[in-house]
Amino acid sequence: MQDETILEINDLNICFEMREGTVNAVNGVTFSVKPGEVLGIVGESGSGKSLSARSIMNLLPRNATVTNGSVKFRKNDGEVVDILAEKRESRKMRELRGGHIGMIFQEPMTALSPVHSIGKQIMTTLNLHTDLSKKAQVERAADLLAMVQMPKPMEMLKKYPHQLSGGMRQRAMIAMALSCNPSLLLADEPTTALDVTTEAQILDLIMSLQDELNMAVIFITHNFGVVAEIADRVSVMYLGNAVETASVDDIFYHPKHPYTRALLQSIPRLDGQKRRRLQTIEGMVPDPFNLPTGCVFHTRCAEKMAGKCTSQIPELTHFENDQMARCHLHQA
Amino acid sequence: MAGYIAHRLLWSIPTLIVITIATFVIIQLPPGDYVTAYIAELVETGEVIDAETAAHIRHEFGLDRPMYEQFLTWIGGILLHGDFGLSLDWKLPVSELIWDRIGLTLMISVLSLLMTWAIAIPIGVYSATRQYSFFDHLFTVLGFLGRGIPDFLLALVLMWMGFLYFNFHVGGLFSPEFENAPWSIAKFVDLLSHLWVPVLVLSTGGAAGLLRIMRANMLEELGKPYVETAYAQGLSERQVVWRYPVRVALNPFISTVGWALPALISGDVITAVVLNLPTTGPLLLRSLQNQDMYLAGGFILILSVFTIIGTLLSDILLVLTDPRIRHS
Ligand SMILES: Nc1ncnc2c1ncn2[C@@H]1O[C@H](COP(=O)(O)OP(=O)(O)O)[C@@H](O)[C@H]1O
Ligand code: SF4
Ligand SMILES: [Mg+2]
């Protein structure tokens, strides 16, 4: 593991054995995160974003098999944990979850327990990872709610999720995830279910907290606009592959992978005179049971090279500026 | 909360009045009355009663008076003196006949309910968390067997096996020497040694059904996002399963606690007859056959009261356990 990273995912492969055949859901995902950095992961639905995030928590679905690769996390004290080598239920994993790595989810509606108050749920995390007394826990929980800008924190502690709006629930969720000062926050489409105004507020909140607490964030979204707003670096996923990873500027101004370019073109342009209709990428997303041979994107790629692209899986090319792309165009 | 309970208590008063009237009317509905049934019984043994004697008996029991008058006398006796009237069939005060039986019925039904839960909940939780494992399949098969075999058949088989292998008479709730003895520690121990058979018989069918419901509820709850959140907080599997989904999956059970009693009385009469249990079911059945109206009425009234209390209790429990109901 490199010295300056807090998280490294290397050549991660995850598959599901199903009655209908094998689904190769994640195929060689590789990326790393530095402390205090915001990594955006973009990709269409089903591209393996959530699975990659869950592998960091060692909380993959029980029918999932990791066939190759590693996930390594560096704790504050310098210890490196080889996450996938740990048992799902091991003490070390449970210490990491909620203690060193916080996670927030897409559905603020259903991601909180319906039968416990907000305060109780935050205190559950505090109870697991800190030695705070009951009284101190209550105070800490109220401070957290104030930190995520919820009004009247003391009263909010007693509220149940169904009594709160979607935005408020997501704030509570964030408070819970941050309760033990994690050094890494995983956010799996945390604003997808919210309306545009609330989404903007939550994004602002996450960004200001990230700045204030100086934690690393992995922000998953299928919205390139959101990525542009918050990420330092971006990883683009397609069919279980991280096809390109680069700084947010390089992704937007010097994309190396044809899929990234196609995605960028599909964003509606606010500045352009001729506002074209949202242009989607041509072709269908291939059937996950029947992935294309060679480069998985070749069925839709405008720059496909006959022969090479359909038969050989492209290697990951590393560029000097830390940009990475998985495409034959860049192979010698 | 207190307001809610008061509100519910208040509502149970009109419910009770309606039930009482309905009970009395229903008992009177079949053609004829106790005397008709009594005469028919005597005819079978060859005795004949002339119309004059019949009218005399009717008058003595007040059966010739209008129905509302009989009702008012009956309900007045209960409310003012706790007097449930006279069993025409047994020629004994109803109170003397029913309280013992209701006590035993309550005890058996509470024990069966606890047993049902003790079997169904852990197995249902296990089956859901280890879906498609060997034991999950095994419990599924056992569950279908338990559901499919009628209780009375299971009762017969158990009695037969007890008799065959242990030379042990399992019918009834007491050994003959304790049957009419006053309550003592020895009698209580004797009761316990008999009790397991009906409790087992009565809980298997229910447990088998409940197990499937528990498993299905749990599977649904375990797939919900809040379970993943709980894992992401750092809770262990056992903590996650028992603190969150089990609590939610239990709601349907809590809301049906109140029905356990009427179910035992109405649904399991056959088992009670087969096992010769001195519970309410067989006596109620007999009183209805004989149109022994005060006995039947007394039973139904008391059982209704228990049912209303049971439902009230389960509603209160539900409100306590599920905040979503509390606030709506
Ligand atoms: N529990 C599962 N069983 C079978 N296949 C799954 C399961 N979870 C995910 N997959 C497969 O993995 C693919 C990627 O899933 P996911 O990581 O959730 O995608 P994303 O978050 O990018 O939308 C899905 O399209 C699906 O084919
Ligand atoms: S490898 Fe070939 S098909 Fe794949 S993205 Fe590059 S050019 Fe297109
Ligand atoms: Mg997802």
> pLDDT for B36-63, tens place per residue?
778 877 887 777 778 888 888 888 777 7
Q: What is the C-alpha separation between A145 and A157, in angstroms, rounded?
A: 8
Half-sphere exposure of A76 (CA within 13 A, CB side): 14
**Domain shared by B223 and B184, yes or no:** yes
C-alpha A144: how far from chain center: 23
Q: Which of A153, A179, A205 is the last residue of a domain?
A: A179
**Domain shared by B198 and B251, yes or no:** yes
Average pLDDT over chain B reads: 83
In this structure, the residues whose C-beta lies within 6 A of any atom of ligand 2 are A 258, 295, 297-298, 301, 303-305, 309, 314, 327-329
**Domain shared by B186 and B71, yes or no:** no
pLDDT of residue B111: 87
pLDDT of residue A275: 42
With CA atoms as reference, the chain B residue closest to A98 would be B233
**Domain shared by B165 and B294, yes or no:** yes
Pairing of strands A184-188, A101-104: parallel
Q: Which residues of A touch B235 (CB under 8 A)?
A: 94, 124, 128
Whether residue A113 and residue B225 make contact (CB cut-off 8 A), yes or no, is no
Q: Whose CA is nearest to atom 6 of ligand 2?
A: A327
Q: Average of pLDDT values for A286-300?
A: 90
**Which H/E stretch holds residue B254?**
helix B251-254
B67 part of a folded domain: yes
CA of A17 to the centre of ligand 1 (A): 12
Kindly identify the ligand whose nearest atom is closest to the C-alpha of A325: 2
B314 part of a folded domain: yes
Q: Which two tokens stand for residue B84?
A: 């449930």
B13 part of a folded domain: no
Q: Which residues of A touch B324 (CB under 8 A)?
A: 114-115, 160, 162
**Domain shared by A172 and A45, yes or no:** no
pLDDT of residue A83: 97
Q: Which of B28, B51, B81 is the last residue of a domain?
A: B81
Query: Where residue B328 falls among pLDDT bands split at 50, 70, 90?
Result: low
**Domain shared by A51 and A173, yes or no:** no
Q: Which domain holds residue A23?
A: 1-100+182-282
Q: Average of pLDDT values for B244-266?
A: 74
> pLDDT for A133-177, tens place per residue?
999 999 999 999 999 999 999 999 999 999 999 999 999 999 999
Whether residue A113 and residue B234 make contact (CB cut-off 8 A), yes or no, is no
Q: What is the CA radius of gyration of chain B?
A: 24
pLDDT surpasses 50 at B114: yes
> pLDDT for B140-159, tens place per residue?
999 888 888 888 888 888 88
Q: Average of pLDDT values for A299-320?
A: 92
Nearest to A156 by CA among A138, A137, A181, A129: A138
A7 part of a folded domain: yes
A59 part of a folded domain: yes
B107 part of a folded domain: yes
**Domain shared by B36 and B111, yes or no:** no
Higher pLDDT among residues B4 and B127, named by residue: B127
Q: Which of A135, A157, A179 is the last residue of a domain?
A: A179
Q: Taking the model in full, what pTM does it have?
A: 0.83
Least confident of A72-81, B22-31, B255-264: B255-264
**Domain shared by B228 and B292, yes or no:** yes
Q: Which of B34, B59, B81 is the last residue of a domain?
A: B81
The residue assigned the tokens 């209908």 is A20
CA dihedral over B147, B151, B153, B155, signed as positive or negative: positive
B 183-242 → A contacts, CB under 8 A:
224-226, 228-237
- Chosen for mutation from A115, A163, A184, A192 (greatest number of chain B CBs closer than 10 Å) is A115
pLDDT surpasses 90 at A199: yes
B 9-38 → A contacts, CB under 8 A:
none
Q: What is the C-alpha separation between B186 and B242, in angstroms, rounded?
A: 40
- In order, the DSSP letters of A275-292 are ----PPPSSPPPPTTSPP
**Domain shared by B257 and B314, yes or no:** yes
**Domain shared by B242 and B289, yes or no:** yes
Higher pLDDT among residues A80 and B25, named by residue: A80
CA dihedral over A61, A62, A64, A69, signed as positive or negative: positive
Q: For chain B, give me the number of helices (H) and strands (E)?
A: 17, 2
Whether residue B234 and residue A94 make contact (CB cut-off 8 A), yes or no, is yes
**Domain shared by A10 and A63, yes or no:** yes
* Euclidean distance between the first and the last CA atom of chain B, given in angstroms as a whole number: 12
pLDDT surpasses 80 at B268: no
> pLDDT for A79-95, tens place per residue?
999 999 999 999 999 99
**Number of structural domains chain B divides into:** 2
A94 part of a folded domain: yes
Q: Which domain holds residue B261?
A: 95-326
Core vs surface per residue B289-325: b (16+ CB within 10 A) or e = ebbbbbbbbbbbbbbbebbbebbbebbebbbeebbee
Using CB atoms, which residue from A99, A113, A160 is nearest to B226? A113
In this structure, the residues whose C-beta lies within 6 A of any atom of ligand 1 are A 16, 23, 25, 43, 45-51, 61, 63, 288
pLDDT surpasses 50 at A278: no
> pLDDT for A8-59, tens place per residue?
999 999 999 999 899 999 999 999 999 999 999 999 889 999 999 999 999 9
A37 part of a folded domain: yes
pLDDT surpasses 50 at B125: yes
Q: Which residues of B touch A114 (CB under 8 A)?
A: 226, 248, 322-324
> pLDDT for B174-211, tens place per residue?
887 887 788 888 888 888 888 888 888 888 888 888 88
Q: Which of A154, A179, A204 is the last residue of a domain?
A: A179
**Domain shared by A62 and A174, yes or no:** no
B68 part of a folded domain: yes
Query: Where residue A259 falls among pLDDT bands split at 50, 70, 90?
Result: very high
Q: Which residues of A touch B224 (CB under 8 A)?
A: 110
A300 part of a folded domain: no
**Domain shared by A203 and A95, yes or no:** yes
Q: Which two tokens stand for residue B128?
A: 């859901």
Query: Where residue A274 falls among pLDDT bands split at 50, 70, 90?
Result: very low
**Domain shared by B104 and B170, yes or no:** yes
Average pLDDT over chain A reads: 92
The domain that holds A67 is classified in CATH as 3.40.50.300
pLDDT surpasses 80 at A268: no
Torsion on CA atoms A267, A269, A274, A279, rounded to nearest 10: 0
pLDDT of residue A276: 47
The domain that holds B242 is classified in CATH as 1.10.3720.10
**Domain shared by A77 and A194, yes or no:** yes
pLDDT surpasses 80 at B2: no
B12 part of a folded domain: no
**Domain shared by A142 and A269, yes or no:** no
A299 part of a folded domain: no
The shortest C-alpha distance from B245 to chain A (Å) reads: 9
The residue assigned the tokens 């060997």 is B134
Query: Where residue B261 falls among pLDDT bands split at 50, 70, 90?
Result: low
Q: Tell whether A1 lies on the interface with B, counting CB pairs under 8 A.
A: no
Of A9, A50, A239, which is best to mutate to test ligand 1, by the most ligand atoms within 8 angstroms of its C-beta?
Answer: A50
Cα–Cα distance list, A265 to A196, A259, A277, A327, B33 (Å) = 22, 10, 11, 19, 90
Higher pLDDT among residues B17 and A174, named by residue: A174
A 54-113 → B contacts, CB under 8 A:
57, 59, 89, 94-99, 102-103, 105-107, 110-113
**Domain shared by B30 and B139, yes or no:** no
**Domain shared by A135 and A205, yes or no:** no
Q: Whose CA is nearest to atom 25 of ligand 1?
A: A46
**Domain shared by A162 and A251, yes or no:** no
B11 part of a folded domain: no
- Chosen for mutation from B129, B220, B226, B250 (greatest number of chain A CBs closer than 10 Å) is B226
**Domain shared by A167 and A232, yes or no:** no
B208 part of a folded domain: yes
Q: Whose CA is nearest to atom 16 of ligand 1?
A: A48
pLDDT of residue A277: 46
**Number of structural domains chain A divides into:** 2
**Domain shared by B149 and B51, yes or no:** no
Q: ipTM strictly over 0.85? A: yes
**Domain shared by B119 and B62, yes or no:** no
Q: Ramachandran region of residue B149, left (φ > 0), alpha (ψ -120 to 50) or beta? A: beta
Q: Which residues of A touch B234 (CB under 8 A)?
A: 94-99, 125, 128-129
Cα–Cα distance list, B35 to A41, A329, B57, B59, B186 (Å) = 87, 103, 7, 10, 42
**Domain shared by A41 and A157, yes or no:** no
Query: Where residue B323 falls among pLDDT bands split at 50, 70, 90?
Result: confident
